[in-house]
Amino acid sequence: MGAAELPEFLREVGESDYYYGTLRYEEGFWVVEGEPAVCQVAKRLFPGAEGRTRGVARFKSNKRTNGDLNWLMMRYPLQIIDRHQWESAFGETVEYIRRREEIRRGPQKAEPSQLIFKGQLTEFQKEGVAFLNNNAPALLADDMGLGKTVEALAWIAAQAKFPGIIVVPTSVQTQWRSQIMNFIHPQPLPGEFALFPDQNKMVHTIKGLTPYELPEAQFYIIHYGLLRGWKQALPEYKFEFVVFDEIQELRHPGTEKYSSASLLAESSGNAIGLSGTPIYNKGGEIYYIMNILQHQCLGDWGSFTREWCYGYNEDVVADPEMLGDHLRREGLMLRRTKEQVLTELPPKRRIVQDIDSDDKVFIKEMRSVMELVYRYDKIEGFEKGRAKQEIGERMRQATGISKAPYVAAFVKMLLEAGEAVVLYGYHHEVYEIWMEELSSFNPVRVSGIESQKQKEEAKQKFINGETNLIIISLRAAAGIDGLQHRANINVFGELDWSPGIHSQCEDRTHRMGQQDSVISYYLVCGNGSDEQMMEALGFKTAQFAGIMGEKTESEEDKAIAQVEVGKHLDKVIEKLKSRSVQK
């Protein structure tokens, strides 16, 4: 792509006999001062632009918006005060768009130096590194199980600039430390003898909410729960890179965690997000995630909701496919599915299985909340919202408890046939029933009450074959790796409101290294909340699939899954029959 092929809006603006105002650079922002005509257009062109006073517009400078600024100056010439700063920024934009067009026309690949990176990348992972090299800040939204952690480490190695920080969920701090040690050669820190870098200074895991002077290290790891305590301290380090793993943790604004992450990303200017499921519920969540990586890359919230959603302050995206196309076309997001890049990976099948529940248990569990149900119409204000939420949660728990023995019976059938099973749930009361009903199978558990050490021990017992049953909380599945080498059967004994949670859980087993077709059983009953949750999940799946560039499950897909699952259950029954005859 030569200079002649550059888009017209990147044509270099020459001298003019009339200027509508001035352009100057101010701590990462461009400031336009001039006539109302140019300031009015600037504020429309850059949603969220600061400058309430007449004749001033202030907006962020980055490689994506600077092309639009050049376009603006073609129509309204401005006297550039900081000429060197503009030429540097504009040159970066031209190079970014040139390389973006090259990637769009055909996959580009990049490999880091083997002096820094130890591992071997697949061809699609090399393409991911090339994408990040050119587009960061950006979101790497590859399907779960495709090795986003490795791609991120290869991107870091390709830049060869340290130190940097990795922000992670609590459950994967140990895993990230291990992956860094596995894939990155230790590099000399300032003042060290280059031939003998200290491996003990490679990774420092930040502890506690109270800031302290960080020791020298190549990598720092912090979990999301600590960000608020380090809100002011971390930006001072000006890290060379920031990686937000499972960045869907930041899909809700208005928290100290969110604002701390925003300041951290802003201080580095070189942040990437990793998530195979960035959208858990409504499509508007993608705005807040992208806003962390590059402030207002989708405009301000008001303009985003007016143009992309169903109206001001609405968070349901009207055309998810169009938004997904925009994110990919602008180099803001890369998304590859297993079907696209791992043609040898066996398919994933889902089946909704109706099971029984105990009416008496359901009624008993709901008895304590029925008084609230009867009073609901008389409750007003905020209390009405709280009451509604409590009714929903108690009904969901009652549903889980009333069907728990039947879920256990279904899982028992699979275990007796020799299957290794990953069982997902939500309520601790339900886990206790499952643990008791299935105690003869020596189950292990990963939920919210175990220590990190206990969770790791439970996972290893399952992976090593010491038990065929691991019970995992729906919301604790993020980042767990290794299950694909042990199991291909998932059972959802309880449901979550988010399709992203289910997808994340399924892909603990459906990932690189899996040899068999993964089957996920969704066990639902007629009592309680299951029916409403299944209906809501259909809508939310459409929002996720549209933005991510995927298709929702068709009736044909469901029919194929029914056949495949039928075959699996036939095998299970035959195994049980043969064992019965042997006895």
Give the integer Cα–Cα distance in Å for 38 and 118. 52
Condensed to tens digits (0 to 9), the pLDDT of residues 431-466 reads: 999 999 999 999 999 987 888 888 889 999 999 999
Domain boundary among 98, 127, 157: 98
Instruction: Write down the pLDDT at residue 578.
Output: 62
Chain-wide mean pLDDT for the chain? Answer: 86
84 and 158 inside one domain: no
333 and 437 inside one domain: no
Query: Does residue 250 lie within any of the structural domains?
Result: yes
134 and 94 inside one domain: no
Residue that the structure tokens 């009333």 belong to:
402
Phi-psi region of 375 (alpha: psi -120 to 50; beta: other; left: phi over 0): alpha
Query: Does residue 193 lie within any of the structural domains?
Result: no
Give the integer Cα–Cα distance in Å for 243 and 293. 10
Query: Does residue 41 lie within any of the structural domains?
Result: yes
Quick check: 260 pLDDT over 80? yes
- Adjacency order of strands within the sheet including 421-425: 348-354, 518-524, 489-492, 421-425, 469-473, 444-446
Query: Does residue 391 lie within any of the structural domains?
Result: no
Condensed to tens digits (0 to 9), the pLDDT of residues 313-357 reads: 999 999 999 999 999 988 999 999 877 887 766 777 888 888 888
174 and 256 inside one domain: yes
Domain count, the chain: 3
Condensed to tens digits (0 to 9), the pLDDT of residues 145-183 reads: 788 999 999 999 999 999 999 999 887 788 899 899 999
410 and 318 inside one domain: no
Condensed to tens digits (0 to 9), the pLDDT of residues 373-419 reads: 777 777 777 777 777 777 778 888 989 999 999 999 989 988 988 88
CATH number of the domain residue 471 falls in: 3.40.50.300
119 and 205 inside one domain: yes
Query: Does residue 380 lie within any of the structural domains?
Result: no
Higher pLDDT, 572 or 399: 399
Condensed to tens digits (0 to 9), the pLDDT of residues 82-138 reads: 899 999 999 999 988 888 888 777 778 998 989 899 988 988 999 999 999 999 999
Task: For Cα atoms 154, 184, 452, give the angle at the middle one, nearest 5 degrees.
Answer: 100
Query: Does residue 503 lie within any of the structural domains?
Result: yes
Q: Domain of residue 74: give its range.
A: 3-98
71 and 129 inside one domain: no
CATH number of the domain residue 301 falls in: 3.40.50.10810
Instruction: Write down the pLDDT at residue 481.
Output: 80
Task: Give one DSSP letter per residue of 227-296, joined into a string.
Answer: GGGGTTTGGGG--S-EEEETGGGG-S-SSHHHHHHHHHHHHHS-EEEE-S---SS-TTHHHHHHHHHSTT
Domain boundary among 66, 98, 130: 98
- Omega into 235 within 30° of 0, i.e. cis? no
Q: Residue 218 in contact with residue 156, Cβ under 8 Å?
A: no
467 and 512 inside one domain: yes
336 and 414 inside one domain: no
Instruction: Write down the pLDDT at residue 3.
Output: 45
75 CB contacts (<8 Å, ≥6 apart)? 41
432 and 291 inside one domain: no
Q: Residue 239 in contact with residue 213, Cβ under 8 Å?
A: no
Query: Does residue 396 lie within any of the structural domains?
Result: no
Tell the burial category of 105 from Cβ atoms under 10 Å away from its Cβ (0-12, 13-18, 19+). Answer: exposed
Quick check: 1 pLDDT over 60? no
Residues 359-370 have a mean pLDDT of 82
91 and 114 inside one domain: no
Domain boundary among 312, 341, 370: 341
145 and 83 inside one domain: no
How many CB atoms are located within 10 Å of the residue 193 CB?
Answer: 8
Query: Does residue 397 lie within any of the structural domains?
Result: no
Quick check: 196 pLDDT over 80? no
